[in-house]
Structure 1
Amino acid sequence: MFLKIVMNDVRRKKIITATVLVFIAMAVVLGSSATNIIANLMQSIAQLKTHAVPSDLTQMHIGSYDQGAVDALVAALGEHIAEQETMYLLNIEGSDIHFGANRTMVDTVQDISFVVQNQKFDFILDLDNRKLDIQAGEVAVPIYFMKTYGLSLGDVLRIESRGFRKEFVISEYARDFEMNSALASSKRFVINQADYDEMLEHQVGEMEYLIEFKLHEHGDLRTVRNAYREAGLPSNGPTIEGRLFSLFNALSDAAVVMVIVLISLLLVVVASLCIRLTFLATIDEDLREIGVMKAMGISKKDIRNVYLTKYKVVATIAGVLGYALSFLVVRAFNGNMRLYLSSDLSGSLQYVLSLFAPVAIYLIVVLYCRSVLGRIDGISATEALRSDIMQRGKHRKYRFPLLKNRFLDTSIYMGLRDVATRIKLYRLLFFIFIVCTFIAILPLNVFNTMNSPKFSTYMGIGQCDVRIDLRKTDTITADFERLLAELENDSDIEKHAAYITCSYPAMTADGRWDYILIETGDFSVFPLQYLEGTAPAEAGEISLSFAQASADGLDKKVGDTVVVQVGGVEKQLKVSGIYQDITNGGKTAKAGASLGLQHDAILWYMVNLDIALHADVSAKMAHYQSTYASAQVNGIKEYARQTMGNIIRQMGAIVIGGLAIAIVVMVLITALFLKMLLSKDMSQIAIMRSIGLSAKQIEHQYLAGTMAVLLPGIILGILAADYLGEILVSMAMSSMGAASIRFVGIAWQTWLVYPLLIIVVVGITLSLSCKIAVAEDLSVVLRS
């Protein structure tokens, strides 16, 4: 019986029912998509890790190397270390790698290494996650460079260095668990052993060592790391823990998931408000029928079930539809994952986890309907039968009388008066407009922030025009000094500052020694934004990154003391400030040049500079790049773009999707609201038309009322996206080392283009809805 009543109600209210179904289905699509992407991410990372067998601890080193000393450590720590393997990397400058129409990779911020496949673990795979086996004359190119430079299978790479010239044919793309991510600053090209030996024989590139350790299941990582350091083994380079590789691989897709989940939750809120809106309209229309059912003795529970069954059916259909459509959405967002992690995402886990969203949303909708339907219990049969008469004159005659209007157009005044007299109805629309604006603006704010030069401050870099990196080579110290001398005498350089990063032993909170990266230099030239405190300005001061200062790092706060060894001498440094840094696993530190250098542990040199307004930035960058071939010269925006490239691209898709969802929701909600309002007011509209008001004047009345809630809704939505959005994004980014994100907004987009687009869309929807309703035959309306 209930099903028959439901079907009759659906036929009678097709548009309202379809709108509710669309909202619930959209929430399910996004919810299922998010859980599906999470499932795929977990599955693909696990699959890639199984096939690649990454190291648990990796020490990068440039300089003299003694494998025998490393073997002795492995023998001594046999209870912790299962296997050890050293990969020999030939570092090639981007300017020495040619392809296409005389193009090079000189503009990359990545370190490029040519390697031979490992034998024990840390395997580099093809796109089918099979261990690469490269033949002579061939090369496997990292996916990052394939995407960046549009390289295809069969293309030719040419190495030209120190009079040596050799061509390689691209035979495979390399999927590298340890260095896939753009956040990993190095990339590995795989070649055949014979080609590698030939390059080594001709002294092509600079040798670097990847000293890798695979631990037993219960092996202690810190014990191995500290024993390695204490033994004085090669450590001229960063030390990387295995967990960071998984974090870097998950990062770009995880960022997308977080935004999709948030939009999905907001759509659940919108769907609930839509149900409330339609329910209020339905109850108002069905009051007489409710009165008749109560007068006939039908129980409250049975009356509630009439309405509840309808929403159960709608939620079930929307859940099935949304669940099916979610797999199409997932395919659109899984392209990055399929390329970098796994081509096969067909596991059963995604289908099981994706059911969570439709089930959860179904329960939320049903429970919310139960709470709203409680209003029926308070309506007696007599009130229900007489309610239409009671409502016609209730509080309308003496509130905001038209005679008191002195300044506004009559239609506009009547519209504003309608909002005031039916504030409970309009506040639902107001809140929905806030939520929709939030959905549209938040992804835009995140995208603009990540795409801004100011984002460098979250990478531990002061805002500047150009960044020059010098990595370890035989002539790095001489090149560094020569570069500083030239910058000092270059009138086109407005200001510059040099920084040197070394690895220093530091005492942890539990009294043990661990190695940390400390960057030394003058941090007043290109200041960072600090969460707490200030930059190290005096001798004996140090600033820590958020992750380094946390309990997982040194566990320090501003004013605490950090004990650091410099040249074997212990120094006590006072923590002057805490900043944000998402690079190098988020754990870095900064100190003044007075700290002194660990000359045997210098990792890299960096120079930041601002170029004078009258100078050509591109020409100046090209000059320094050609003069210092081993340097990496990049604009700071380009540096951030290359480092965060995948996340920025995916966030761009979310910006478009968020705007589309917001517009669709606003159109449907506005049309539904107007249909409900015009249905209630049909007799009044007929009276206004019979006394001479034009259809355009009546349309303006409803337009004014809706705009009265739309405009403040847009403003509050933008403010919520700015301030509440910052809090939500900061919570999500804190695990990466950025705990306080400040959005970089583009005012003409946020406050002009988006609001105008929303106003135009809502205005057109209002105009079309009013035209259809007002055009009905007057005689039919008056007779009813």
Structure 2
Amino acid sequence: MYARMIARDFTRNRNVGVVLIVLMMLSVVLATASAGILVRLTGASNSLMSQAEAPHVVQLHAGAYDPEQVERWAAERPEVAHHQAMLMLGIDGANLFFDGAPQTANIQQNSLVVPNQERDLLLDLENQPITDVDPGTIVLPVIYQVEEGLEVGDPVEITTADGFAKEFTIAGFARDSIMNPAITSSKRLAVAASDLEEVRAHTGQVEHLVEFWLHDPDVQTAAFEKAYLDSGMPKAGQMVDSAIFRMFTMIGDGMVAAVVILVSLLLLVVALLCLRFSFLTAAEQDYREIGVLKAIGVASRDVKKIYLTKYAVLAGTAAVLGLLGGWALAPLLSRNITRYMGSTTSVWNWIVPLLAAVVVLAVLVLFVLVLLRRFNGISAVTALSAGTTGPRSTAARLRLHRSRMPVHLRLGVMDVIGRWPTYVLLFFVFAVSTFITIVPVNAATTVTAPGFINYMGIGKVDLRIDLDYVDPATPGQFSRIVEELGADPDVAEIAPMVTTRNDTVDQDGNATSLYLENGDHTRLPLTYTEGRAPTDPSEIALSLLALNEAGRAVGEALPVEVGGQVRELTVVGSYQDVTRGGKTAKAVLPTEGNEVMWYMIGVDLAPGVDPAGKAPAYTAQLAPARVADIEQWRSQTLGPIAGQIALTAAVSAVVAVVLAMLMTALFTRMLIARDAGQIAIQRAVGADDAGLRRQYLTRILLVLVLGVVVGTVAANSVGEQMFNLMFEGMFGGLEALGQGTSRIDFAVNPVLAYLVLPVALLAAVTGATAASSRSIVHADISTLTTE
């Protein structure tokens, strides 16, 4: 009997049933796809680090290297399980050609390496170790296949001024567990040992990666790093650990995944709200049938069983279809993650989305049970006489004759005012739909905006020039570069900076190291979130994350070791920085006697000078320094991330608009079902159908406008906070959440955020309302009197 009744009901209300299934299916698709993305991201990241046997601590060292010195020191450290060193031969971009194109504009520091045999392995696109490269061939990082479109068989050439030229053929592409994403700014190119030595005889800068594996890295890393840096070991370069490697992965691919998951969860909330409207719509249409069933003696539990079975069948169908859709969608959404980190064939890729679908199905069924409780107090007499579950409108009590508005528009406004509780959920859905439409778009425009450079630890400059400290000759090279830039009439202003490593303490009193950028910070200044730039040797400014880890506030003192003596420096400012792990500092300290890590010069060109044209000329003139047009530097560092966020924003906007349309259609049907009697009476006294439809269009659009306004305000306040929380979690981990370590302001495109997107939502909702309100032609006085 139940089956016949359900089949008959579905045939009679086929459109409602289809929309219900679609809405529930979208909910399951989003839930399972989000779960699939999360499990793939976690699995791929862990698998890459595990299969490559990534080191726990890495020290980059440029200059003379004594392997026996490191061997002796490591043998005395009980926490060291294994150590090794990898030689890297840095190739200047002007001497490196990919498929005939010089890499002068490439900000990546490309180095030739011979792949390791046991640990810190480079992996091919099947995540198999690359331990051997044939002479004459080269294996490039996968980023060059994804972003530059290079393919196997393309030529790579290295040339020098003395006429030497070495041509390679691309044999494949590699995933690198410690240098994979664009933001790391260093890349390893694998070649045969004989080819590396041949190139080394003519060009290249020799560096070493000194790598360590610890017995218990979670506990021993901090103390080991401090011990290494305090020793006389090779350390002319930056030290990084496995936590930073994982953070780089999160920044590169995890940021995109975080946006997808966030949007998916918000869309799931919207879908659930739409489902509530769907159930209310069906309840309105079936209310009189409930009365008939109770009148003929059907018990309340049996009535509930009929409707529970009906909606359970619909929800089960939607869950199965949604699970299949989620399984298919997750690989597509995580395609970029897969290309950079590979994929895992874990059974969890299937089980976790299945569990997500089961959870959503259980929520839907429980939701139906809660909804059906409202039928407990309904008597047959009440259902048959009233024919509705909702409260009667009080709009008729408002005065109509004092308004100059057209009658139908006024009636629509009066209904919203008189029955405002009915429209609260509709308003909330429109607000959330606007929110999830605008926030990803604002995130994309922010990351791609030229002003985002202010959050990368440097001020507004045209060119960025970097020079690593290699040997005692490097300071002379730096001085020469500064002199040449100062004498160039095309240069308006320069800001030379010297970065040193200085010891300090964290908020728990533990010794730690901090990289201090020293120079005149009043030249080409960056934007400070609080305070100002340091102007004398007694002051320091910290990045937000470094400030949080130090447990200090602006105005307080921080002990810093300078030239072998501890100084109490006053924190005078804080700023946002997403480079070098987000932990940097600015000071005006003397650099003599301190460990110089690298040099950087910000250049502001004279008006009319093209940075894109000046950068290649400086690359040749100022070698071995690396010169980058700042816009190229920003786009190459964050461009791949921004592109994926933009794609995610477009997809989320489309899905949000579709859900808003479906919800509008079902809500309109619910209102028409509830107001069938009033509609019939108005038609009987001469109201035209077009005017009646305008009433409903007025109601929906009034709520839509209010929802869009509130959603837009929330997107630029709450949405901005959520965006910053995402950055805080990626840089500082869970303990940094809510600590204010990220204060990025949205760079809003007003035309897109305040015009294009709201107009698209308005058009979609208007169309859905107009289409759904056509059913008023079925409400007439003869039907009303018959019932």
TM category (shorter chain) comes to over 0.9
CA drift at 1:490:
4.4
Q: SS of 1:220's equivalent?
A: helix
Match of 2:737 in 1: none
- Equivalent of 1:756 in 754, 759, 764: 759
- Alignment map for 1:459-608 (pairs within 5 Å): 459-472=456-469, 476-509=474-507, 511-550=509-548, 553-592=549-588, 595-597=589-591, 601-608=595-602
CA drift at 1:352:
1.4
1:215 aligns with 2:211: no
Q: 1:723 to 1:137 in 2, by over 3 A?
A: same
Percentage of matched positions with identical amino acids = 33
**Is the CA contact (8 Å cut-off) linking 2:497 and 2:518 kept in structure 1?**
yes
Q: 1:275 to 1:223 in 2, by over 3 A?
A: closer
Q: Which amino acid aligns with 2:79?
A: H
CA drift at 1:457:
2.8
Match of 2:24 in 1: 24
CA drift at 1:656:
1.4
CA distance in 2, matches of 1:226, 1:210: 18
Match of 1:141 in 2: 140
Q: SS of 2:257's equivalent?
A: helix
Match of 1:255 in 2: 255
- Alignment map for 1:380-395 (pairs within 5 Å): 380-388=379-387, 395=394
- Alignment map for 1:665-684 (pairs within 5 Å): 665-682=659-676, 684=678
Match of 1:638 in 2: 632
Q: SS of 1:469's equivalent?
A: strand
CA drift at 1:3:
4.4
CA distance in 1, matches of 2:391, 2:644: 53
Match of 1:723 in 2: 717
**Is the CA contact (8 Å cut-off) linking 1:41 and 1:337 kept in structure 2?**
yes
1:703 aligns with 2:702: no
1:271 aligns with 2:271: yes
Match of 1:651 in 2: 645
Q: 1:503 to 1:690 in 2, by over 3 A?
A: same
Match of 2:425 in 1: 428
How many residues are matched?
773
CA drift at 1:680:
3.9
CA drift at 1:483:
3.5
**Is the CA contact (8 Å cut-off) linking 1:82 and 1:214 kept in structure 2?**
yes
**Structure 1 unaligned runs (5+)?**
none
Q: 1:715 to 1:494 in 2, by over 3 A?
A: farther
**Is the CA contact (8 Å cut-off) linking 2:393 and 2:415 kept in structure 1?**
no
**Is the CA contact (8 Å cut-off) linking 1:89 and 1:210 kept in structure 2?**
yes
1:741 aligns with 2:744: yes
- Alignment map for 1:398-437 (pairs within 5 Å): 398-401=397-400, 403-406=401-404, 408-437=405-434
- CA displacement, residues 208-240 of structure 1 (integer Å, 9 cap, x when unaligned): 111111222478223432332232111110001
Q: SS of 1:539's equivalent?
A: coil
CA drift at 1:729:
1.7
CA drift at 1:328:
1.7
Q: Which amino acid aligns with 2:579?
A: T
Match of 1:87 in 2: 86
Q: SS of 2:693's equivalent?
A: helix
**Is the CA contact (8 Å cut-off) linking 1:566 and 1:598 kept in structure 2?**
no
Moved more, 378-387 or 135-144: 378-387
Q: Which amino acid aligns with 1:645?
A: G
Q: SS of 1:480's equivalent?
A: helix
CA drift at 1:154:
0.8
**Is the CA contact (8 Å cut-off) linking 2:501 and 2:594 kept in structure 1?**
no
CA drift at 1:87:
0.8
CA drift at 1:719:
1.3
CA drift at 1:746:
0.4
**Is the CA contact (8 Å cut-off) linking 1:505 and 1:514 kept in structure 2?**
yes
CA distance in 1, matches of 2:431, 2:453: 31
CA distance in 2, matches of 1:654, 1:678: 36
**Is the CA contact (8 Å cut-off) linking 2:280 and 2:670 kept in structure 1?**
no
Moved more, 118-127 or 658-667: 118-127
CA distance in 2, matches of 1:713, 1:188: 51
- CA displacement, residues 143-172 of structure 1 (integer Å, 9 cap, x when unaligned): 122333221111111101242211111111
CA distance in 1, matches of 2:129, 2:285: 68
**Is the CA contact (8 Å cut-off) linking 1:236 and 1:600 kept in structure 2?**
no
Q: 1:252 to 1:638 in 2, by over 3 A?
A: same
Moved more, 638-647 or 319-328: 638-647
Q: SS of 1:208's equivalent?
A: strand
CA distance in 2, matches of 1:376, 1:159: 79
Q: Which amino acid aligns with 2:279?
A: F
CA distance in 2, matches of 1:216, 1:603: 29
- Alignment map for 1:95-110 (pairs within 5 Å): 95-100=94-99, 102-110=100-108
Q: Which amino acid aligns with 2:112?
A: F
Q: Which amino acid aligns with 1:714?
A: V
**Is the CA contact (8 Å cut-off) linking 1:41 and 1:250 kept in structure 2?**
no
Q: SS of 1:237's equivalent?
A: coil
Q: SS of 1:670's equivalent?
A: helix
CA distance in 1, matches of 2:120, 2:390: 75
CA drift at 1:90:
0.7
Moved more, 33-42 or 691-700: 691-700
CA distance in 2, matches of 1:618, 1:389: 70
- Alignment map for 1:350-365 (pairs within 5 Å): 350-365=349-364
Q: 1:662 to 1:223 in 2, by over 3 A?
A: closer
CA distance in 1, matches of 2:391, 2:189: 79
CA drift at 1:511:
4.9
- CA displacement, residues 380-439 of structure 1 (integer Å, 9 cap, x when unaligned): 3332232149999864543232x1222x22332222123223323322222211111112
CA distance in 2, matches of 1:389, 1:145: 64
CA distance in 2, matches of 1:700, 1:576: 61
CA distance in 1, matches of 2:176, 2:261: 29
Q: SS of 1:404's equivalent?
A: coil
**Is the CA contact (8 Å cut-off) linking 1:469 and 1:633 kept in structure 2?**
yes
- CA displacement, residues 635-691 of structure 1 (integer Å, 9 cap, x when unaligned): 333322211233212212211111111111122112222233334445544554555
Q: Which amino acid aligns with 1:442?
A: V
CA distance in 2, matches of 1:24, 1:261: 18
Q: SS of 1:311's equivalent?
A: helix
CA distance in 1, matches of 2:550, 2:392: 71
CA distance in 2, matches of 1:364, 1:529: 47
CA drift at 1:46:
2.6
**Is the CA contact (8 Å cut-off) linking 1:95 and 1:629 kept in structure 2?**
no
Q: TM-score, normalised by structure 1?
A: 0.92
- CA displacement, residues 93-112 of structure 1 (integer Å, 9 cap, x when unaligned): 11111233x41111111111
**Is the CA contact (8 Å cut-off) linking 2:503 and 2:561 kept in structure 1?**
yes
**Is the CA contact (8 Å cut-off) linking 2:156 and 2:170 kept in structure 1?**
yes
Q: SS of 2:559's equivalent?
A: strand
**Structure 2 unaligned runs (5+)?**
733-740
Q: Which amino acid aligns with 1:514?
A: T
CA drift at 1:360:
2.1
**Is the CA contact (8 Å cut-off) linking 2:236 and 2:597 kept in structure 1?**
yes
Match of 1:449 in 2: 446
